[in-house]
Amino acid sequence: MDEITEQPSPPPIKSTSANVKKYLFEFSLLFLAVFLGFFADSLREENSEKQQAYELAKSLYEELKNDSVTVASKIEGRLKKESAIDYMVAFFKDSSLQTSSKSLAINFLWATTIRTPVIFTPRTVILEQLKSSGSLRYFKSQRLQQLVGDLSVSIEYLRERQELEAIVYKDYIEPIMINHMDFEFQRKLFNTGLFDRLASYEISDEYIPFHLSQPELINRSSYINALSYYHTNNIKSTRLIPFESYVKVNAALLKELRQEFKLTQ
């Protein structure tokens, strides 16, 4: 009998359909992995921006809150200076230049000498960081971005007005102080401390003699005009316009920051 050689059977041919399914499955897994990685990166970046926005908002809020207290004290100082100038204008109109009184001493100081309590220098560290670094983009609220811009404008206006005041003071008011201040009185008064010392002197029963120096050189009408101009066109108008503008923007920005980032007062 002839031997029949058994031929090996051919390997099964994988169906095209199975291969396609396998490739689609692998592609889907790869696509899902890429998508999830991209999504995770986007989510991480978004959370990072939100955190940065919160930190900047918190710092800006503290900066503005501190300035809101400071500007209120400066406005109070301006009102006091305006009152002192009114006193001196009335004094130069019809009072004896030889008069000596505690009220004259205090009002002369406030009208012609005291300046620091009325000068406001806003803190702008965080504001400048927002503008220079491009971090303002983290604030998604259009209203918030607008108010930050308004704040920059109001601060610049404040600076310009106070620079003008400094020029007027140097040219017209400082000469009155230099020529007619009783510097012996000033030396005794400010032997210890400055503004705190003046405040305590005002409310105390203490009295230090004060006499206008060189009264023969006083030009009443000229001094009345200089003081009146300084009062209305500088100290008062700056208080009523740029100071009030800053106060409103400051308050609006504080409110918006509280609402947007859930900050507490």
The C-alpha atoms of residue 76 and residue 70 are separated, in whole angstroms, by 10
18 vs 157, higher pLDDT: 157
Decide if 84 contacts 107 (C-beta within 8 A).
yes
The C-alpha atoms of residue 250 and residue 151 are separated, in whole angstroms, by 7
Decide if 68 contacts 253 (C-beta within 8 A).
no
Q: Is 77 exposed, middle or buried (0-12, 13-18, 19+ CB in 10 A)?
A: buried
Residue 14 has pLDDT above 80, yes or no: no
Q: By mean pLDDT, which of 65-69, 98-102, 135-139 is the weakest?
A: 135-139
pLDDT at residue 29 in the model: 62
pLDDT band per the 50, 70, 90 thresholds, residue 19: confident
The C-alpha atoms of residue 26 and residue 102 are separated, in whole angstroms, by 94
What average pLDDT is seen over the chain?
Answer: 88
182-196 pLDDT, tens digit each: 999 999 999 988 889
pLDDT at residue 149 in the model: 93
pLDDT at residue 192 in the model: 87
Neighbours of 79 (CB within 10 A): 14
102-125 pLDDT, tens digit each: 999 999 999 999 999 999 999 999
pTM of the model: 0.81
CA of 24: how far to CAs of 13, 21, 35, 102, in Å? 19, 5, 16, 96
Q: Please, which residues have CB within 8 angstroms of residue 229's CB and are 6 or more apart in sequence? A: 168, 172
pLDDT band per the 50, 70, 90 thresholds, residue 134: confident
63-88 pLDDT, tens digit each: 999 999 999 999 999 999 999 999 99
Q: Encode burial over 189-223: b for 16+ CB neighbours within 10 A, e otherwise.
A: beeeeeeeebeebeeeeeeeebebeeeeeeeeeeb
Mean pLDDT of 92-97: 96
End-to-end CA distance of the chain: 108
Q: What are the extents of the domains in the chain?
A: 17-261
pLDDT at residue 34 in the model: 66
pLDDT at residue 40 in the model: 47
